[in-house]
């Protein structure tokens, strides 16, 4: 008997990456070892994403390949994460899947693997109001040992009308802050120099103490507690919500040098009519005020965003409002998407997906072109500045060069000069592309 080998493939957001690490930890305790070679695996897991139809289509392509593997040899295939939760038993119809496990069911994976047979597939898609995996130490998958994801909450209580996440990840729940701090201290003691606190909406993090209301903890307080672990530990977080980001969070960022000056603040649209239909619960004016507040407290704060092109009923004027907002804010970078209708969401039930495909594509291309210019302008403003970098790896293009990120999340590459991954160095920015700052050690 050899140790059973598990291979895991991860799609989607950082939260999913961290969930894969949680699964690996649970499986390790049950006697499984991780393999990075799919052909050698006894168990293949795909931790999936449902955010847009093209994400799911890509995964269907992979499931088809797993089916081919299964014809050649005995291997268990499990689908976990958001697609598992969304499609449930339907995933079994393709005859390539043995296990379907939703985001709150990972503790039951060893039992499911024990029980599964070709005639007895296993499905657990129960969502929980309590599960935060708070006692599980994720088995880190990153190669560099520098930056660790830490989940501080799960699920989402917002009702953005386009979004499938509340259905796939269930209700919001916050994790006990003591377990978060313990985990951050633990990774720091193992040499990590950066933690990224993860939640669908970190600004609504709230821990209600069972003992006394005085011991309740909100996100600003959690951020401060993690920042106090060591000045040598950088703290990042994602994702912020424009309706919930508080002045306290902004002041806490300004107060601690080791809290990185970067906020990912998805705007989605610059049109009030669209924001209303999207149920984002803020206006264009509110968003711009939050940006002004951030910039007055933290003048050099990196601000990045997500934008959706072609949401239901979006007019040319709505689209122009998005472009003008992007220009006004001058985002440092952005993730940009065409609207993709997700079954079961409020928008799918209530609004026709009526912007023609070619119009969506054209608008998205205009948004991307604008952002490319804004990113380049933002990077040009960095030229001549000295930034403190945490070294994350060796440049893919040149072995003699290293890369790392500045606090504002910009990627710098520079000649190694004998430095190593995990060290802090100061670099001066010499030139740039829209994606990278070319720098030298100072």
Q: Which of the choices ligand SF4, ligand 5AD, none does residue 168 contact, using the CB cut-off of 5 to 8 A by kind?
A: ligand SF4
- Smallest gap, in angstroms, from Cβ of residue 250 to ligand 5AD? 20
Is residue 238 within the footprint of ligand SF4 (CB under 6 A)?
A: no
- Are 44 and 75 in contact by the 8 Å Cβ rule? The answer is yes
106 binds ligand 5AD (CB under 6 A): no
**Interface with ligand SF4, residue 165, by CB under 6 A:** yes
Residue 276 DSSP code: H
Query: Hunting for tokens 């060796």 — which residue is that?
Result: 394
| Residue 304 interacts with ligand 5AD (CB under 6 A): yes or no | no
Task: Indicate which of ligand 5AD, ligand SF4, none lies near residue 340 (CB less than 5 to 8 Å, by partner kind).
Answer: ligand 5AD
Asked whether position 345 contacts ligand SF4 by CB under 6 A, the answer is no
What does each C-alpha distance from 347 to 73, 208, 307, 311, 340 come to in angstroms? Answer: 43, 33, 17, 9, 10
Cis before 239 (ω within 30): yes
Segment contacting ligand 5AD (CB under 6 A): 56-64, 129-137, 313-321, 334-342?
334-342
Report how far residue 302's alpha carbon sits from residue 380's, in angstroms, rounded to the nearest whole number: 14
Burial class of residue 433, CB neighbours in 10 A (0-12, 13-18, 19+): exposed
Q: Which does 308 bind (CB under 5 to 8 A by kind): ligand SF4, ligand 5AD, none?
A: ligand 5AD
Task: Establish if 146 lies at the interface with ligand 5AD (CB under 6 A).
Answer: no
- 82, 48 contact by CB (below 8 A): yes
Q: Is 264 in the site for ligand SF4 (CB under 6 A)?
A: no
Contact between 425 and 391 (Cβ < 8 Å): yes
Phi, psi (rounded to 5 degrees) for 406:
-80, 170
| Residue nearest to ligand 5AD according to CB distances in the complex | 306
Which is nearest to 162 in space by CA: 357, 337, 286, 315?
337
Of 201 and 333, CB closest to ligand SF4: 201
Residues 6+ apart with CB under 8 A from 114: none
Does position 105 bind ligand SF4 by CB under 6 A?
no
Asked if 81 and 105 touch (Cβ cutoff 8 Å), the reply is no
CB of 79 to ligand SF4, least distance (A): 12
Task: Give the binding-site size for ligand 5AD (rule: CB under 6 A).
Answer: 12
Cβ closest to ligand 5AD, residue 49 vs residue 298: 49
Whether residue 427 contacts residue 414, with contact meaning beta carbons closer than 8 Å, is answered with yes
CB of 94 to ligand 5AD, least distance (A): 23
Pick one of ligand SF4, ligand 5AD, none as the site partner of residue 252 (Cβ within 5 to 8 A by kind): none
Answer positive or negative: Cα dihedral of 365, 368, 370, 372.
negative
Of 5, 12, 268, 274, the residue at the interface with ligand SF4 (CB under 6 A) is 12
Phi, psi torsion values for 263, nearest 5 degrees: -130, 125
Q: Which stretch binds ligand SF4 (CB under 6 A): 141-149, 165-173, 319-327, 398-406?
A: 165-173
Exposed e or buried b per residue across 46-74, where buried means at least 16 C-beta atoms within 10 angstroms of its C-beta: bbbbbbbeebbeebeebbeebeeebeeee
Nearer to ligand SF4, 16 or 134 (CB): 16
* Interacting residue with ligand 5AD among 133, 162, 205, 403 (CB under 6 A): 162
Q: Does 287 bind ligand 5AD (CB under 6 A)?
A: no
Residue with tokens 């669209």, as numbered in its chain: 274
Asked if 234 and 260 count as a contact pair (C-beta separation under 8 A), the reply is yes
When asked if residue 86 is in the footprint of ligand 5AD (CB under 6 A), the reply is no
Q: Which does 269 bind (CB under 5 to 8 A by kind): ligand SF4, ligand 5AD, none?
A: none
Choose the binding region for ligand 5AD from 65-73, 119-127, 333-341, 389-397 (rule: CB under 6 A). 333-341
Question: Cβ closer to ligand 5AD: 55 or 288?
Answer: 55
Using CB under 6 A, list all residues that contact ligand 5AD.
51-52, 162-163, 266, 268, 306, 308, 337, 339-340, 342
Instruction: List residues binding ligand SF4 (CB under 6 A).
Output: 12-13, 15-16, 49-51, 81-82, 164-165, 168-169
């Amino acid at each position: 008997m050899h140790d059973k080998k598990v291979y895991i493939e991860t799609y989607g957001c950082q939260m999913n990456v961290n969930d894969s690490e949680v699964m690996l930890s649970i499986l390790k305790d049950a006697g499984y070892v991780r393999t990075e070679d799919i052909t050698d695996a006894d168990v293949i897991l795909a931790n999936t994403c449902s955010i847009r139809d093209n994400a799911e289509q890509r995964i269907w392509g992979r499931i088809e390949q797993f089916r081919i593997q299964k014809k050649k040899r005995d291997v268990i295939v499990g689908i976990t994460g958001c697609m598992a939760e969304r499609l449930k038993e339907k995933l079994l119809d393709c005859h390539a899947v043995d296990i379907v496990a939703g985001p709150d069911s990972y503790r039951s994976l060893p039992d499911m693997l024990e029980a599964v047979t070709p005639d007895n597939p296993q499905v657990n898609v129960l969502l929980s109001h309590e599960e935060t995996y708070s006692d599980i130490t994720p088995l880190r998958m990153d190669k560099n040992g520098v930056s660790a994801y830490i989940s501080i909450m799960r699920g989402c209580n917002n009702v953005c009308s386009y979004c499938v996440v509340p259905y796939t990840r269930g209700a919001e729940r916050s994790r006990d802050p003591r377990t978060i701090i313990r985990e951050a201290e633990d990774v720091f003691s193992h040499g990590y120099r950066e933690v990224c606190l993860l939640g669908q909406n970190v600004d609504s993090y709230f821990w209600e103490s069972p003992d006394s209301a005085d011991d309740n903890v909100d996100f600003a307080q959690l951020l401060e507690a993690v920042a106090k672990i060591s000045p040598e530990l950088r703290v990042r977080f994602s994702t912020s919500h424009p309706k919930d980001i508080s002045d306290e969070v902004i002041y806490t960022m300004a107060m601690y040098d080791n809290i990185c000056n970067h906020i990912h603040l998805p705007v989605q649209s610059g049109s009030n009519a669209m924001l209303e239909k999207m149920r984002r619960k803020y206006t264009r004016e509110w968003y711009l005020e939050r940006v002004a507040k951030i910039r007055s407290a933290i003048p050099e704060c990196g601000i990045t965003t997500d934008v959706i092109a072609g949401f239901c009923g979006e007019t040319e004027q709505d689209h122009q409002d998005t472009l003008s907002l992007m220009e006004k804010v001058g985002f440092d970078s952005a993730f940009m998407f065409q609207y993709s209708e997700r079954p079961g969401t409020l928008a799918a039930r209530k609004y026709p997906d009526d912007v023609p495909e070619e119009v969506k594509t054209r608008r998205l291309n205009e948004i991307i072109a604008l952002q490319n210019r804004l990113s380049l302008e933002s990077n040009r403003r960095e030229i001549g500045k000295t930034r403190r970098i945490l070294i994350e790896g060796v440049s893919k293009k040149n072995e003699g060069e290293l890369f790392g990120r500045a606090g504002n999340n910009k990627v710098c590459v520079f000649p190694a000069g004998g430095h190593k991954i995990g060290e802090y160095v100061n670099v001066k920015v010499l030139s740039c592309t829209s994606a990278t700052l070319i720098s030298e050690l100072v």
